[in-house]
Structures are given as structure tokens and as C-alpha cells.
Amino acid sequence: MYVVQIASECAPVIKAGGLGDVVYGLSTELEKQGHCVELILPKYDCMRYDHIWGLHEAYLGLEVPWYGSTVTCTVFCGWVHGRLCFFIEPHSGDNFFHRGLYYGAVDDHMRFAFFSKAAVEFLLVSNKRPDVLHCHDWQTGLIPVMLYEMYGWHGMERQRICYTIHNFKHQGIAGADVLWATGLNREDYYFQYDRLRDNFNPFGINFMKGGIVYSNHVNTVSPHHAWEARYSGISYGLGHTLEVHNSKFGGILNGLDYDVWNPAADEYIAEPYSKDDFSGKVKNKQALRERLSLAHGDKPLVAFIGRLDDQKGVHLVHHAMYYTLSRGGQFVLLGSATESGINDWFWHEKTHLNDNPDCHIELGFNEELAHLIYAAADIMVVPSNYEPCGLTQTIGLRYGAVPVVRGVGGLVNTVFDRDYDAHHPPQERNGYVFYETDNNALESALDRALGLWSVYPDEFEKLAIQGMSCDYSWKQSGEQYIGVYDHIRA
């Protein structure tokens, strides 16, 4: 099968969060299972060019229709750790992808509407006719719309679309200008509730809704979050749309790239280790302590890695930090915030705790440091308000760091409470789960983890190794996606 993934991220070259990991990991798995995969991405100025091999111009003078005229683009081609990627670079005064950022510009809706248009136009003129286009998140939500309403009439009527929603919070709401820019035009037609009109903002079109309405299959990134999206109102206003399109909606758990995330062969960590030889783990703990000037000693190391965002339960992250310190543990936080209030808050904490030998707060994005933290940590906290899938708990499991999580979304599908899980036998349990959003709830789970670490260290190590034995690789999830592709092609 010939599959083209179109997305705004692909790790490690463009990564703001889990989307990048998923796009790369799934593509790799599909290739492993014998399929041909290509990726189309924006050519950002700030991406990690050191992770691209053989970058060269592949298509010069791609004329992308835009506002009744055209924007000339160059399409570059290169390999990102074995995956063939096409990068679209527009030449216009808008400088869409030369902003020193991936997201967060005021005209993001225009930037990604343009990217979507350019990606389909590139497929059309370069005569690429994949069996399946796999689009991800709101940034590519207009692709199924354009394919069905426009490009299907120009020789792309056989292409099928799988649309994956990684986060319902960001949907891409825009005015009619996007319709005129992309050539979809027909405002009256698209401003219908059964097409693109936002369910709650009558003056806006909704990219993600377009993706849901026009794709052949829609999924989110875990079975439990698919359930939540339909029944618990976590879909940020798209519940009715999902209800209408229920027959083509489901959940597929994100996998983890076990080659990228492999403590036995990770170039960023101090000492390799595995579930059969766990001794290297403690050396990584020492290495992290040295790197971050933390005190040495017999203390549990608790870590949080992730976006500092309301979604991630920042108040509970904050509480976990102080609670761990009060219980005599160490805490390491690696995160970045886009909201200034949260950013200021954690900068304040960083300054406040600067001289504390048991705590380190690293604000920013640092892939290499993240690997070392996973390898060093005894416990990973993931107290999310909601979590479509979550990767930090599965990476933690892979690195023998016991996850303490809130029981929402994909966390429910991956972490099973050591003491209370009723559905898994003790030998399959791998962490600690709490459900409410208050400090006491977090404490109840973190306390049990810290208690086991200090009172029954052998049992704790057994639990960590049990976690390492879980299989959250892409194999099974990749097969499920192939099943979806086969289904929509039939």
C-alpha cells in the first residue's frame, strides 16, 4: 500500500509534543510491515536540520493557487532517520514558516490552510496517487474537504483519507477568508452546520469538523479517549458531529517507537540497561544528578516531562513537586509553557527552588535531556486533566520509571494500578492511578509509590521491571491502522 502522511510535525526533526512521535513512529512501523510511506511537512526555519539527510530541492516552481493568484513554492526532499519526507517552502511575503516557531502565530489558521492546499497541489502536479492520505489534527483538517470538493474532480477521486485527532482542544477556527484563499469559495455552502460551520461560533468554520465530516475514517489516539469524546463532553463542542459520524469514528492507541525509546541502546543516556539487567538504571540516576547538580543519596527521583499546559494538570504537577520534596524525595521537571501566566509561575518556582539540592526545574524543550530523565527517574507523574493518549507514561514504562497517573484518556488504557486494578492480574499491573483532580487524590497515589520505593525496594523494582515488560510498541497499533486503511479502500 502507498500511504502519504501529512502533518505539521514529525519527530525528531519537528517536534512540539506527541504528534511528532506518532507521525514518525507510525510511518516507520508501516514501512516495517511492507508498505510504502512518504511524509509531507512544512519547511520551518526552526526545525532540526541536523536530523535530515540528503536534503535537496525535489520540485521547483510549485504554483499553489491562493486568493485567486498563486504562491510559488519549492518542495525539498530528504530522509529523516530513514523516512522519506517532502518539505514545502512557500515564497511569499507572508513568510508562513519562517517565524522561528511551529505554532502560536496569530495567522496559524492561514499558515496551515496554505500548507494543506500546497500539500494536495503537490500530490496532484507531481502525479502522486497514494492509496491513503493520513492527515493529523486541525492543521490538516481542510485536506479531506479540498480532496472531496475540488481535487476529486481533477483525477484524485480514488484517494482515501484517514484523519487522526490527537487533541480536540485545538480545532482551527477561522473566518470565510480561508474559503476564499484556498479556492473553496462558496461561503453559503460551507457555512452549513453539516459541513464546516462551527457548532458554537456561527461566524467561524472549523477545520477539525471539516476533517471529521469529509474523511473516510476518523480516529482519536486511544479507545478510552474515543469513548470520552463521544460521551463526556471532552471533545470541545464536536460531540454532536462525532455522534452524526459515529459509524466511522474510533480509537487506536498510540504506539511507541521502541527503536527510538530503548534504554538498552539509547545514545543520550549514561548507561544502557534492560529489564534483564536493571543495574544501569542507578548509574543514569547518578549521571542526571551530576548534570543537574542535585544531591546524591538514597532518595527516590520523581519526574515530570511535558507541556506546562492546563491540559497536563499543572496545579497537580506543582503539588507533586512540593509533596515529593516534603516526603524526602527529589523532583525534576522538564517542560515548556506557551501561556505567559503558567510560564511566569514556573519561572518563579525555578528561581525560588534554585538552591534546593533536591529539585531541578528545566524550562524549555530538550529532547536529549528528556531521554536521560526517563532513564534516571524512579517515578513519572502524569496528573493530566485530560489526555488523549499520553506518551510520557509509556516512555516511563519502557525506561523502568513507574507511572503515577490520573485515570483519564489513554492513561486508562496503559497504566494499571498496582494495588486496586480489578481487571488485570497483579503481574500485569504497572503503576498507580488516581481519579479526582484535587491534591489529596494525587497524594493518595504518589504516597503509595513513594512508600513502596522506601519500604519495599525489591517490590518497587519488580513493579518497574513489570512495566518494562509491557508492550506498547507500534506493532499492534500499526496493524490496526493498516486494518483501517484496508477497510476504507475496500
The amino acid at 87: F
The SS3 of residue 59 is strand
Euclidean distance between CA atoms 22 and 27, whole angstroms: 8
Shortest CB 459 distance to ligand ADP, Å: 27
* Helical segments of 33-170, H only: 108-125, 142-149
Among candidates 149, 151, 229, 217, which has minimal Cα distance to 185?
A: 149
Considering the complex, state which of residue 62 and residue 305 has its C-beta at the smaller distance from ligand ADP. Answer: 305
Least spacing, CB of residue 229 vs ligand ADP, in Å: 15
Q: Are 271 and 283 in contact (CB under 8 A)?
A: yes
Q: Does residue 66 contact residue 91 with C-beta atoms inside 8 Å?
A: no
Does residue 64 contact residue 88 with C-beta atoms inside 8 Å?
A: no
DSSP conformation class of 52: -
How far is 139 from 133, CA to CA, in rounded Å? 14
53/32 Cα distance (integer angstroms): 20
**Nearest distance, CB of residue 347 and ligand ADP, angstroms:** 14
Smallest separation (angstroms) from ligand ADP to the CB of 396: 9
Whose grid coordinates read 492546499?
117
Please give the residue ranges that form the binding site for ligand ADP (CB under 6 A).
17-19, 21, 305-307, 334-336, 365-367, 370, 389-392, 395
Least gap, CB of 153 to ligand ADP (angstroms): 36
Q: Which is nearer to ligand ADP, 90 or 396 (CB)?
A: 396
Smallest gap from Cβ 71 to ligand ADP, in A, equals 30
32: nearest Cα among 489, 477, 488:
477
Nearer Cβ to ligand ADP, position 93 or 364? 364
Cβ-closest position to ligand ADP? 18
- 3-state SS string for 193-226: CCCCECCCCCCCEEHHHHHHHHCCEEEECCHHHH
Give me the least distance between CB of 18 and ligand ADP, in Å please. Answer: 2
DSSP 386-425: --SS-SHHHHHHHTT-EEEEES-HHHHHH--BTTT-SSS-
Nearest distance, CB of residue 323 and ligand ADP, angstroms: 21
The answer to whether the CB of 380 falls within 8 A of the CB of 361 is no
- Separation CA 212–CA 210 (nearest Å): 5
Nearer to ligand ADP, 305 or 463 (CB): 305
In the complex, least distance from residue 276 CB atom to ligand ADP, rounded to whole angstroms: 25
